[in-house]
Amino acid sequence: DAGVIQSPRHEVTEMGQEVTLRCKPISGHNSLFWYRQTMMRGLELLIYFNNNVPIDDSGMPEDRFSAKMPNASFSTLKIQPSEPRDSAVYFCASKMAGQNQPQHFGDGTRLSIL
């Protein structure tokens, strides 16, 4: 099992540019989560999908952030336009159905907006 795969691992870009983060969940998992980790706020949920459908996007900070899950094996988190305060580590996680199931995290994307 390859685990949750995120790309890129690191991204450095100038403010105003569009940033796209990618995630491939574990095969057979039906829920996918996008998190942001910062020193100030810790690990905070941005959005999660169940069976490819967005369920709760209340954590998405602004309209500049958007996420899609076109199929069961792929999701993107897009920031347009990016700002320096978006710099953080972004994690994707997936899980199987059921409240007893843990979330499995990818290695994260470290994003730096200059």
Residue 59 or 78: which CB sits closer to other proteins? 59
Strands 42-50 and 104-105: unpaired
Residue 12 or 15: which CB sits closer to other proteins? 12
In the complex, the residues that contact other proteins under the rule CB under 8 A are 31, 33, 42-45, 48, 50, 55-56, 91, 93, 97-108
**H or E stretch at 21:** strand 19-24
Q: How far is the CB of 18 from other proteins (least distance, A)?
A: 25
Query: Is the CA virtual torsion 111, 74, 3, 31 positive or negative?
Result: positive
